[in-house]
Amino acid sequence: MRHLHSATVLLFGVITATAEPRIERDIPYAQPKNERQLLDVYAPQSGSKLPVVVWVHGGGWMRGAKNEVDHKPTALVDKGFVFVPMNYRFFPNVKMGDIIRDVAKATGWVHANIARYGGDPNRLFLMGHSAGAQLAAILCTDFQYLAAEKVPKKAIIGCVPVDGDTYDVPLQVATAVARRKSLNQPDPKYGHPEKFGDLGLQRAYSAVTHVARNKGIPPFLILHVADHTDTSAQAHRLWNALDQAGIRAKVFGAMGTDHVKLDRDLGVTGDPATKELFEFVDGIVGKR
């Protein structure tokens, strides 16, 4: 990411000089130090009490890495955010609950330490793509994991899950089973039932299960690919649950993109999903 050092970026018609961010890589958030429990910090050169984006990568809970961030550090640091992507352990080496606890532990590290990098520990956004969308959404609706890491729910001020298909895991399992049956396809070796567990665990790891009024659930922006059947259905399922509970939420279906491109283009000038993202965060923290 050293090509971030200096550039001139056009953001929505405004030319802004991008200063070299401060970057610290491979910070352990758990002991003993290991590759799968590290995070990076991208921060502006100066400032204090800056809002923070905690980013959770995708990869089906079995692959992916914290350095797969594309344009996001450039765009968010330029807006005056601290950006923190993480690694986490993978299935089948660990169970889904352990993966969720890894993301919570990384968020706990951020809350405890991010002030040293100019971040505000009480203005954290949790965001993630694909599998990371499910992980971000569950932490923002079922607060037991963050509470175990001493992160108060009021410290999470926004959630942006991007093109996830497991906010309601039992619904997605039923959808996938019906599709395979209609197409006479075999079950995958590692499908959602294998990753999430039995029906009780599937429900426990579904964000919609935990949505309720007066819980302190933060505002949500749910981004998805407009013509992707599964992620669109799941996005609207989560939005409906939040809306019915009186929680501020918006769902945005991006046209002319796909699952990978939607993530890759976040932070790109003129990208519609990026515009929605920036309007969402600006509406919470105020424009820079």
Instruction: Enter the pTM of the model.
Output: 0.91
Q: What is the mean pLDDT of residues 121-149?
A: 98
* Euclidean distance between CA atoms 50 and 11, whole angstroms: 20
**Residue 16 — very low, low, confident or very high, per pLDDT cuts 50/70/90?**
very low
**Residue 185 — very low, low, confident or very high, per pLDDT cuts 50/70/90?**
confident
Q: What is the pLDDT of residues 17-51, one digit of tens each?
A: 356 889 999 999 999 999 999 999 999 999 999 99
Give the residue from 230, 208, 214, 232 showing the smallest Cα distance to 222: 232
Q: Which residues contact 118 (CB under 8 A, 6 or more apart)?
A: 43, 44, 46, 47, 48, 49, 50, 82
DSSP string, 153-191: GGGEEEEEEES-S-SSHHHHHHHHHHHHHHHTPPPPTT-
* Euclidean distance between CA atoms 115 and 83, whole angstroms: 13
Second CATH level (architecture) for the domain 2-285: 3-Layer(aba) Sandwich (3.40)
Q: What is the pLDDT of residues 192-247, one digit of tens each?
A: 999 999 999 999 999 999 999 999 999 999 999 999 999 999 999 999 999 999 99
CA angle centred on 79, ends 261 and 153, rounded to 5°: 85
Residue 87 has pLDDT above 90, yes or no: yes
CA 219 to chain centre: 13
**Residue 183 — very low, low, confident or very high, per pLDDT cuts 50/70/90?**
confident
Q: How many H-runs (helices) and E-runs (strands) does the chain carry?
A: 11, 10
In this prediction, what percent of the chain has a pLDDT beyond 70?
93
